[in-house]
Structure 1
Amino acid sequence: MKKIIIYAFVAITLMFSGCNDMLDKSPRDTFTNNTTFWSNANAVESYSNKFYDNYIGYNSKGDLGWFYFKSFSDDQVNPTFDDWTYKTIPSTSSDWTDGSKEIRRVNYLIQGLSSSSLTNGEKARFMAIGRLNRAWEYYQMVRKFGNMQWMQDVITDPDDNRIYGSRTDRDVVIDSVLSDLNYAVANLDDVSDKTAWSKQMALAMKSDVCLYEGTFCKYRTTADNGKAPDLSRAQKYLNESVTASEAIMNSGKFALSTNYGDIYNSLSLGSNKEIIFYRNYEKDMVMHSLVDYTCNSTEQFGISKDAFDAFLFLDGKPKANTTLNTDDKAVINSGGNYSVSRMLSQRDKRLSLLVDSIISFAGHGWARVNNMGVSASPQMTSSTGYTVRKYDNMSLDSYYRINIGTGYTDAPLYWYAVILLNEAEAKAELGTITQSDLDKTINLLQSRVGLKPMTLLPDADPANNMGVSNLLWEIRRCRRCELMTDNWYRYWDLVRWHQLDKLDTSKNPDIMLGANLSNISNVGVNVTTDKYMIGNTKTRTYDSKYYLYPIPTGQITLSPETGQNLGW
């Protein structure tokens, strides 16, 4: 899938009257929709390529991106404060309407292919692309809203009773998602272009979706989620995740990059052996703002103390158990800046690639970008003192690093490290994991960043506050550290593990704290009594209703049988 095709999408307009979703009382979608169109392979290719925009990456469709900017977690502190996505019920919601539009768009493709004169092989491929993307959209919608009305065709009759139907049970919807994914895996080919729809991309999506579903069904509760745990269902989906992960692992097509971090700041991911599917950006054509937000003077969403403390020491032990020096105070260096380089040198190497060694905050700014090509380097600051650096490509001209919307590094969407993490976690949850499994998954990641191999019986960490085994805790730690600030993973991991209460700031104060400023006098920012920087003083209080987004009131007015979610 080449960018020139993606962004030269055929002139198709979908006009919606009234409510902008698939349950509109009077849908009037008008665009080129006839047998001739659906029998033109180039037209259908362009139509299906438009789905690529839904994989946000570093930027797409006006969204700043799913890396770094999705800061609502225990990993980052937004200086203007991240609260629950919805605290009151909205009248309308783009989370609802946008997903519904895309499902409808997919169903037009699937319906159009039924009358197409394309070859059976062509129709099967386009059908697979459609069902892959329908699976993606429904997966997003179910994570947010739970029960969703399942639509496998386009409603064109305003009197169709399904317009007013109740929502389909979320388990049934995900079963249909799995069916769509299996069809995509069976009917898409292996391709060399890693921006194209492929069997491997479909397997990677299946690995992710099934891990989510398996763990969600294992840990959910009737009180908080409206449905009791279903261990049989959990086992089924965890096994499906393993099957998909192992198909990728055994294909011989992928391997870890030599250096952690290479995939986040590359100008070209097409030949990177770790990449399964990525979003391509081009200099002066299609660009993003991720680099400039982590290089410029805009205050960063800093890494939290809780996240910083999650990284192991090089002896393979957590902060509570290590024999290495745990002093995390920032100290002044020869350049007059406050540094934590000594501390970083003793930790998991992912930490020093995630954050700068220099602590910077209001009144103590620091410039990562040098003066080449700009009249003055922007002074960075962070809400917690810890600035995010792993997305920055320091070989770029300064102009492309500090100006809004000028970044053109490629964004990973599915990559091999995630598959290894999925495999290890799914097998650990199933209780079937062996040392050999760890060596083929987690320990490849551990080795890459200078850590000792994980064993089946790791030492207990007093910080384990999730009520899981020592092994699961360490696998989850590895996932957190490997994917920190990446692709909206952390928030949804907390949801599927039934750990959303960890975002309550009064019960988990370290998620709002930052660097240790004990060695700095007159810091000019809020600090705790032991001198840890306070990234934000506001309070976020957990309520179990936040496991699901509320259904917009406008949707319920149009279709009362839609109903409202638990607790709203």
Structure 2
Amino acid sequence: MKKLFIYGVTALAMLTGCNDLLDKSPLDTFTNTPAYWSNTDNLDNQCNTFYNNFTGFGNGASGGWFYFKTISDDQVDAESHNWTYTNVVASSTNWSAPFTEIRRANYIIAGVQSSSLDEATKAHYEGLARMNRAWEYYQLVRMYGDVQWIDKVIDPADNEALYGPRTDRDEVMDHVLADINYACEHITANSNRQRFSTDMAYAMKADITLYEGTYCKYRTQAENGKAADESRANKYLQECVSACEYLMAKNYSLSNSYKANYNSVSLASNPEMIFYKPYAQSSLRHSTIDYTINTSGTHGISKDAFDSFLFLDGKPLATTSKNKDDAAVLDADKNYSIREVLAVRDKRLSEILDPVLSFRGHAYSRAGVAAFTTSTGYGIAKYDNPEELSVSDRNNIGYQYTDCPLYWISVIYLNFAEAKAEMGSLTQDDLNNSINKLQARAGLPAMTTTPDADPANNMGVSNLIWEIRRCRRCELIMDNWYRYWDLIRWHQLDKLDSTKYPNTMLGANVSNVPDCEEATKNGYIDASDAQIRTYEAKHYFYPIPTTQLTLNKNMKQNPGW
């Protein structure tokens, strides 16, 4: 399939100003007439700009959603382990950038209605705009909670709209659901998985509604500003199940290779893909592989994450009958090998990690690249492709061209099983049709609805939900910013407190390494010396930029900031 490179298009010019609801393109960058909006080329140009927001592995040297996006208990930053925000900031693109696209969406929606296009075509373009508006508001609500809901192009003289208070986050999310439902119903079906489509809208809906359903189930008045709401939670969880069932009935299936989802130069024939971002050596490249082999030090996974992977008998660390010894051993190449450790674990782990450790005094070269070290000793091989990319292309910033998954069926399986488990309606057939397909690919026994207890369960949930969360963590480790927002929606953000959960800062077992140059704790690499990360309830929300608070006196700062 020919790759379509519409992700790199330049956004329309923005005018200067102060208010994020006004200072957004498009404004006066085109002739805003019914004739303009009646031209589908103009509509395509406007809608194609939304693709820029799905950054994937990034563009050139810029980062994307994968691997190094933010803190979590899955990985340890090589330099800083602290929260995204530790102080209130004057401005932030996390706040301002979504309003750029919300304004664009509102222009398209209003413009399409003034056009002379037929009703089906109008509905298609409105669906594209509303889907992207939904996605932007979903990001804003996750980060900030209450935000102003704007569903029209604002007149600069409309002070009530410009300087009104933030809208209750539940109300905003209800609007988001209405938008994404409209998109699912009206966007034209498209078999090209590089383009917006009906299926992509359903996949987006599954993510959004799972987040909202579980967030509303587990939130607290004290830390989230709203008490749990079981009725609302079940409404959204059922919406998630319905979206997943729609996609599970379609012609998607698991790839034979877990790693192929992440390191392929073409995802066109991958049966898992619902929507992906294409790259090519000649035109659009990224730097994700280079980030995993950075000679200045890269992010390794934590001991906490490593220990979450089951053994091949289907048992966790506490109860397995397999060999639990995780100490690296010196091999014939003078590397400290973990091959035997990986051989008895979930098969995904050996596809995610290098077979030897990389740490100070023992740098490692993966298939010819410059030798590198990691913060925890565990090197991340998941995204690399030595078979199809040259050493030079792998080892330099902005030279990689493997495609990036954005929505794919394994995530739908995970969403489906979790939503049904949270509602108490998950059956064995449901598991067999979803998560157990992932278990089989990982070489693990099938999950049952009554799994044994794991002493490591520290989230206060049932054995079943704990195991579903484990499967999600292992399947999506370092992917797409998932883990951080999973901890938010499960009300488990305190698990990032390194003083209470030190395993989130520990790495590989180097007890067999004489004169080890790394700081260690009980034989494990200890990365906590750079910074202590302490949980505070305020971290459930980002701080509102002070420039917006100064401009709009009706807008209040988030609690604790």
State TM-score, norm by structure 1.
Answer: 0.96
**CA gap 1:23/1:6 in 2 versus in 1, 3 angstroms:** closer
Deviation at 1:112, TM superposition (A): 1.3
Deviation at 1:79, TM superposition (A): 1.6
2:298 pairs with 1:300: yes
Q: Percent identity?
A: 52
Question: Could you tell me which residue of structure 1 aligns to residue 247 of structure 2?
Answer: 248
2:520 pairs with 1:508: no
Question: Could you tell me which residue of structure 2 aligns to residue 132 of structure 1?
Answer: 131
Question: Could you tell me which residue of structure 1 aligns to residue 193 of structure 2?
Answer: 194
Question: Could you tell me which residue of structure 1 aligns to residue 48 of structure 2?
Answer: 49
Deviation at 1:35, TM superposition (A): 2.5
Using the alignment, how far apart are the partners of 1:5 and 1:567 within structure 2?
Answer: 41
Supply the AA of the counterpart residue of 1:448: R
**CA gap 1:63/1:498 in 2 versus in 1, 3 angstroms:** farther
Determine helix, strand or coil for the equivalent of 1:356: strand
**CA gap 1:47/1:235 in 2 versus in 1, 3 angstroms:** same
Question: Could you tell me which residue of structure 1 aligns to residue 17 of structure 2?
Answer: 17
Question: Could you tell me which residue of structure 2 aligns to residue 368 of structure 1?
Answer: 366
Deviation at 1:438, TM superposition (A): 0.8
Determine helix, strand or coil for the equivalent of 2:520: coil
Deviation at 1:190, TM superposition (A): 2.3
2:472 pairs with 1:479: yes
Using the alignment, how far apart are the partners of 1:476 and 1:505 within structure 2?
Answer: 21
Question: Could you tell me which residue of structure 1 aligns to residue 374 of structure 2?
Answer: 382
2:145 pairs with 1:151: no
Question: Could you tell me which residue of structure 1 aligns to residue 207 of structure 2?
Answer: 208
**CA gap 1:431/1:8 in 2 versus in 1, 3 angstroms:** closer
Question: Could you tell me which residue of structure 2 aligns to residue 422 of structure 1?
Answer: 415
Using the alignment, how far apart are the partners of 1:6 and 1:65 within structure 2?
Answer: 13
2:525 pairs with 1:533: yes
Supply the AA of the counterpart residue of 2:532: T
Using the alignment, how far apart are the partners of 1:94 and 1:6 within structure 2?
Answer: 19
Determine helix, strand or coil for the equivalent of 1:276: strand
* CA contact 1:383–1:536 (8 Å) conserved in 2: no
Q: State how 1:169-188 maps to structure 2 within 5 Å.
A: 169-188=168-187
Using the alignment, how far apart are the partners of 1:351 and 1:6 within structure 2?
Answer: 32
**CA gap 1:28/1:257 in 2 versus in 1, 3 angstroms:** closer
**CA gap 1:387/1:172 in 2 versus in 1, 3 angstroms:** same
* CA contact 2:26–2:107 (8 Å) conserved in 1: no
Determine helix, strand or coil for the equivalent of 1:560: coil
Question: Could you tell me which residue of structure 1 aligns to residue 116 of structure 2?
Answer: 117
Supply the AA of the counterpart residue of 2:372: M
Deviation at 1:280, TM superposition (A): 1.0
Cα shift readout 1:204-262 (whole Å, capped 9, x = no counterpart): 000000000000000000000000000000000000000000000012x2111112111
* CA contact 2:59–2:398 (8 Å) conserved in 1: no
Using the alignment, how far apart are the partners of 2:252 and 2:111 within structure 1?
Answer: 35
Q: Report the RMSD for the aligned CA atoms in angstroms.
A: 1.6
Using the alignment, how far apart are the partners of 1:207 and 1:39 within structure 2?
Answer: 32
Cα shift readout 1:390-409 (whole Å, capped 9, x = no counterpart): 10011211111001100000
**CA gap 1:7/1:552 in 2 versus in 1, 3 angstroms:** closer
Using the alignment, how far apart are the partners of 1:343 and 1:157 within structure 2?
Answer: 63
Deviation at 1:28, TM superposition (A): 9.5
Deviation at 1:7, TM superposition (A): 3.9
Using the alignment, how far apart are the partners of 1:300 and 1:163 within structure 2?
Answer: 43
Question: Could you tell me which residue of structure 2 aligns to residue 374 of structure 1?
Answer: none
Deviation at 1:27, TM superposition (A): 9.9
* CA contact 1:5–1:46 (8 Å) conserved in 2: no
Supply the AA of the counterpart residue of 1:285: S
Question: Could you tell me which residue of structure 1 aligns to residue 103 of structure 2?
Answer: 104
Determine helix, strand or coil for the equivalent of 1:3: coil
Using the alignment, how far apart are the partners of 2:7 and 2:257 within structure 1?
Answer: 31
* CA contact 1:53–1:60 (8 Å) conserved in 2: no
Q: State how 1:24-39 maps to structure 2 within 5 Å.
A: 29-32=27-30, 33-39=32-38
Deviation at 1:443, TM superposition (A): 0.6
Using the alignment, how far apart are the partners of 2:234 and 2:507 within structure 1?
Answer: 39
Q: State how 1:134-533 maps to structure 2 within 5 Å.
A: 134-251=133-250, 253-370=251-368, 377-395=369-387, 396-528=389-521, 530-533=522-525
* CA contact 1:211–1:426 (8 Å) conserved in 2: yes
Deviation at 1:416, TM superposition (A): 0.3
Using the alignment, how far apart are the partners of 1:338 and 1:359 within structure 2?
Answer: 6
Determine helix, strand or coil for the equivalent of 2:554: helix
**CA gap 1:15/1:566 in 2 versus in 1, 3 angstroms:** same
Supply the AA of the counterpart residue of 2:463: N
* CA contact 1:71–1:77 (8 Å) conserved in 2: no
Using the alignment, how far apart are the partners of 1:160 and 1:38 within structure 2?
Answer: 27
Supply the AA of the counterpart residue of 1:12: L
Deviation at 1:155, TM superposition (A): 0.6
* CA contact 2:59–2:285 (8 Å) conserved in 1: no
Gaps (5+ residues) in structure 2? none
Using the alignment, how far apart are the partners of 1:286 and 1:117 within structure 2?
Answer: 36
Deviation at 1:457, TM superposition (A): 1.0
Question: Could you tell me which residue of structure 2 aligns to residue 556 of structure 1?
Answer: 549
Determine helix, strand or coil for the equivalent of 1:562: coil
**CA gap 1:5/1:81 in 2 versus in 1, 3 angstroms:** closer
**CA gap 1:70/1:559 in 2 versus in 1, 3 angstroms:** same
Question: Could you tell me which residue of structure 1 aligns to residue 4 of structure 2?
Answer: 3
Aligned residue pairs, count: 557
Cα shift readout 1:47-104 (whole Å, capped 9, x = no counterpart): 1011011012100497401110124000000121121111111111111111111111
Supply the AA of the counterpart residue of 2:523: K
* CA contact 1:295–1:402 (8 Å) conserved in 2: yes
The partner residue of 2:560 within 555, 563, 567 is 567
| Segment drifting more, 175-184 vs 361-370 | 361-370
* CA contact 2:62–2:286 (8 Å) conserved in 1: no
Using the alignment, how far apart are the partners of 1:89 and 1:307 within structure 2?
Answer: 30
Supply the AA of the counterpart residue of 1:474: E
Supply the AA of the counterpart residue of 1:216: Y
Deviation at 1:14, TM superposition (A): 2.7
* CA contact 1:27–1:158 (8 Å) conserved in 2: no
Deviation at 1:23, TM superposition (A): 5.5
Determine helix, strand or coil for the equivalent of 2:41: helix
Supply the AA of the counterpart residue of 2:346: D
Determine helix, strand or coil for the equivalent of 1:283: coil
Cα shift readout 1:116-135 (whole Å, capped 9, x = no counterpart): 12222221111000000000
Deviation at 1:34, TM superposition (A): 2.6
Deviation at 1:427, TM superposition (A): 0.4
Using the alignment, how far apart are the partners of 1:221 and 1:23 within structure 2?
Answer: 34
